Amino acid sequence: MARRKQSDLAQRLETVIKTLIPQRDTNAEDLGPMMRAIKAVHSATDHTSTTPEDLERQRNAQELFARLVTPSLGIRNDALNIHGLPAEWVCLEHGHDRRHAVLYCHGGGYTCGQLGYARILASKLALCTGYDVLSFEYRLAPDNPYPAQIEDALTAWDYMMYMGYGARDVIVAGDSAGGNLALELCLKLKEQGRAQPRGLVLFSPWTDMTASGKSYRTCRTLDPMLTMEYIAAVRAAYTGPDADWSQPCYSPLFADLRGLPPTLIQVGTNEILRSDSERLADALQKSGGYAALEVYEECWHVFQQMPIHRAAEAMEAAGRFVQRLM
């Protein structure tokens, strides 16, 4: 029965997305329905295009995807505006811990991602931790390149401090580009001499914009979500085409990581960014920090979003990590 529900959801997602936007050749004939659905979202337009029209299609597809897979039972969403920054509290309706909170940075290659899309993992984080989760709609490239996103993350962090949370009451979480942003936020707090959050939870973080890890070669045909062409396009949109991607402000893997909080990193074996996670865990440990790396077999980029058993297992592990810290 569970497998039938999973298959029905995947087929529904694939069908609706294909009716929403024209599809290009995805080379996904050998993938199952769930993987084809994932591929459909990320193949909606030319991966190398960041034109307003293509970005609008990608963002619309993400919002539709979110409406289909976001947990909603027992969850309340409260919108707010933080000095012009759209944001949302995602909270359990009953019996949750109000003393602690999660600040969640959504993914999307710094070019996509809105509050509806962020709600997928924000809701799952609320469920697995029992904490209120604040997500925010940071400005997107190419219209707003670096450092707009870091500035918006600091605005969200400062709001939480204003609301009475201490730094040690907050977990910072992020996926993909949002994992990059979560790390850069912690590095900026360190630069400013401010207290670090209690912990970091990172799902498939993008940590190396130079793309120097071996998984960029070994997993390029295994990852159903990301391609090197897509990574190059969103990287250029975020930083500009002539940036030095080895700089820590773009690639936190190469930063001085001393003093960062205990960190959980989850990644799938089949994703292009696998090396980004493995090398980050190693770098954190070598810098004297604590890093727990969890590698999930046969999983893809940010698989935690999907309504599958391994995603539930991963979110439960994230919840246990957070509870141990608190």
Task: Fill in the amino acid letter for 173.
Answer: A
**Parallel/antiparallel/unpaired status of strands 85-92 and 75-82:** antiparallel
In angstroms, the CA 138 to CA 160 distance is 16
The average pLDDT across 95-108 equals 91
pLDDT at residue number 8? 55
Per DSSP, 259 falls in state: T
Q: For residue 107, how many other CB atoms are within 10 A of its CB?
A: 26
The active-site residue, picked from 43, 123, 176, 204, is 176
Name the percent of the chain lying above pLDDT 90.
73
The average pLDDT across 6-13 equals 54
The active-site residue, picked from 14, 88, 137, 271, is 271
> Would you say residue 271 has pLDDT above 60?
yes
176 catalytic, yes or no? Answer: yes
In angstroms, the CA 247 to CA 45 distance is 30
The average pLDDT across 285-291 equals 98
In angstroms, the CA 157 to CA 127 distance is 21
- Band (pLDDT 50/70/90 cuts) for residue 20 is very low
In angstroms, the CA 105 to CA 202 distance is 10
pLDDT at residue number 16? 47
In angstroms, the CA 213 to CA 253 distance is 11
User: What is the CATH number that goes with domain 74-325?
Assistant: 3.40.50.1820
pLDDT at residue number 29? 42
- Band (pLDDT 50/70/90 cuts) for residue 31 is very low
More confident residue, 222 or 180: 180
Q: Which of 282, 263, 274, 265 is nearest to 301 (CA)?
A: 274
**148-162 and 177-191 helices, crossing angle to 10°:** 70
The model's pTM: 0.89
Are 314 and 304 a contacting pair, CB within 8 Å? yes
Are 224 and 230 a contacting pair, CB within 8 Å? no
- Band (pLDDT 50/70/90 cuts) for residue 124 is very high
In angstroms, the CA 91 to CA 78 distance is 8
- Band (pLDDT 50/70/90 cuts) for residue 96 is confident
Q: Is 118 exposed, middle or buried (0-12, 13-18, 19+ CB in 10 A)?
A: buried
pLDDT at residue number 12? 56
| 222-238 pLDDT per residue, tens | 888 889 999 999 999 99
> Would you say residue 307 has pLDDT above 50?
yes
Residue identified by tokens 């919108």 is: 79
pLDDT at residue number 319? 98
The average pLDDT across 74-100 equals 93
Q: Is 86 exposed, middle or buried (0-12, 13-18, 19+ CB in 10 A)?
A: middle
pLDDT at residue number 28? 40
Are 131 and 200 a contacting pair, CB within 8 Å? no
Per DSSP, 178 falls in state: H
> Would you say residue 115 has pLDDT above 60?
yes
> Would you say residue 13 has pLDDT above 80?
no
DSSP state letters, 2-53: HHHHHHHHHHHHHHHHHHHS-------TTS-HHHHHHHHHHTSS-TT---HH
Locate the domains of the chain by residue range: 74-325
Supply 276's token pair.
Answer: 């980004």
**33-42 and 2-20 helices, crossing angle to 10°:** 30
271 catalytic, yes or no? Answer: yes
> Picking from 9-13, 104-108, 190-194, 308-312, which range would have the lowest pLDDT averaged per residue?
9-13
- Band (pLDDT 50/70/90 cuts) for residue 26 is very low
pLDDT at residue number 42? 53
In angstroms, the CA 101 to CA 169 distance is 6
Cα maximum dimension of the chain: 53
